[in-house]
């Protein structure tokens, strides 16, 4: 993973050029999105914005095309459209998710004295590390967690980020699995079913786990052919999750665990984030289940807030 790059001072940035066309669009959207704002005709929009009729018509036509505005064919009046409302709901959910998940991460961190973070699905192919919490004895830049930085992005690539895939429709799961090396695909299918059943993923701890995650996250800089070969090799080197019988076998000597990830669902049942515990050590099976159950319960509670 790539460490977060700090912001440069404003003095290093070029002066912002004004954009009158953008201002006009924003003006119309703000006008129609106002509290208790009734739908307006084009003529009323022109009067309240002081735009020319041609300019106002071009803007509202484009906004209507994208669903940000809607036009009542009976009256010719324009109001806020379903596309804008969906975007506003998504933004609202994101704000709630940060607040609830951040509080939950700190509560869990205090309880178990291990780091917790929230991974948010920032696009189809990436998750971003968001709210995080560290116990007092472990600094955020400590050696055991060199990849654990707020704002880091991780590509949803086999075999990692399984908790984001296990609840996907079968075609989406198949597409994700198809990116993995052929010898690992059968295990991936089994593991996804296990994760969906128990409610969380478990990342095994190996001597090279941090290096493997770092390498997987940097593959995009490689040519396509090399990226595929290196990705397959890294996947083959990874021991993917734990199956129930494997946890039973490890019970006597303890279970090496890097992370435990439980999904957070939106109101449509899609996994939009995960609450992630970071033991990064060998755990007794009872301790593993205790952390995992608490992590899953916290994720479920956050999901209930988003429904």
Q: Which residues contact 60 (CB under 8 A, 6 or more apart)?
A: 28, 42, 45, 69, 71, 78
| Strands (E) located in the chain | 69-71, 78-80, 116-121, 126-133, 153-155, 201-204, 255-265, 271-277, 281-283
| pLDDT(236) > 50 | no
> Which has more confidence, 218 or 251?
251
Summarize pLDDT for 174-232 with one digit per residue, the tens: 999 998 888 889 999 999 999 999 999 998 866 555 455 555 555 555 555 555 555 55
Residue 254's region, left for phi above 0, alpha for psi from -120 to 50, else beta, is: left
Task: Kindly list the structural domains of the chain, giving each domain's residue range(s) and its CATH number in brackets, ordered by start.
Answer: 18-80 (1.10.10.10), 87-306 (3.30.450.40)
Distance CA 189, CA 173 (A): 8
Decide if 157 contacts 164 (C-beta within 8 A): no
Distance CA 105, CA 58 (A): 47
Summarize pLDDT for 148-160 with one digit per residue, the tens: 566 777 888 888 8
Q: Which residues contact 43 (CB under 8 A, 6 or more apart)?
A: 53
pTM strictly above 0.85? no
């Amino acid at each position: 993973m790539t460490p977060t790059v700090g912001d440069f001072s404003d003095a290093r940035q070029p002066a912002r050029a004004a954009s009158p066309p953008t201002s006009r669009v924003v003006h119309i959207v703000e006008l129609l999105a106002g509290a208790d704002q009734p739908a307006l005709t084009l003529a009323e929009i022109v009067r309240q914005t002081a735009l020319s009729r041609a300019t106002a018509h071009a803007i509202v036509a484009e906004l209507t095309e994208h669903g940000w505005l809607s036009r009542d064919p009976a009256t010719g009046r324009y109001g806020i459209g379903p596309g804008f409302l969906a975007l506003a709901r998504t933004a609202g959910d994101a704000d709630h998710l940060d607040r609830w998940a951040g509080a939950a991460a700190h509560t869990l961190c205090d309880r178990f004295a291990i780091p917790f973070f929230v991974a948010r699905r920032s696009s189809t192919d990436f998750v971003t590390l968001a709210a995080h919490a560290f116990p007092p004895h472990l600094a955020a830049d400590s050696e055991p967690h060199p990849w654990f930085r707020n704002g880091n992005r991780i590509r949803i690539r086999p075999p990692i980020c399984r908790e984001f895939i296990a609840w996907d429709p079968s075609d989406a799961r198949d597409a994700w699995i198809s990116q993995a090396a052929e010898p690992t695909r059968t295990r991936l299918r089994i593991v996804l079913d296990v994760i969906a059943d128990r409610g969380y993923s478990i990342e095994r701890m190996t001597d090279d786990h941090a290096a493997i995650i770092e390498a997987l996250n940097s593959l995009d800089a490689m040519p396509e052919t090399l990226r595929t070969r290196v990705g397959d090799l890294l996947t083959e080197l990874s021991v993917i999750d734990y199956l129930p019988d494997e946890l039973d076998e490890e019970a006597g000597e303890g279970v090496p665990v890097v992370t435990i990830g439980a999904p957070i669902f939106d109101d449509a049942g899609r996994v939009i984030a995960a609450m992630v515990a970071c033991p990064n050590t060998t755990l007794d099976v009872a301790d593993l289940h205790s952390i995992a159950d608490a992590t899953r319960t916290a994720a479920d509670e956050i999901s209930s807030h988003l429904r």
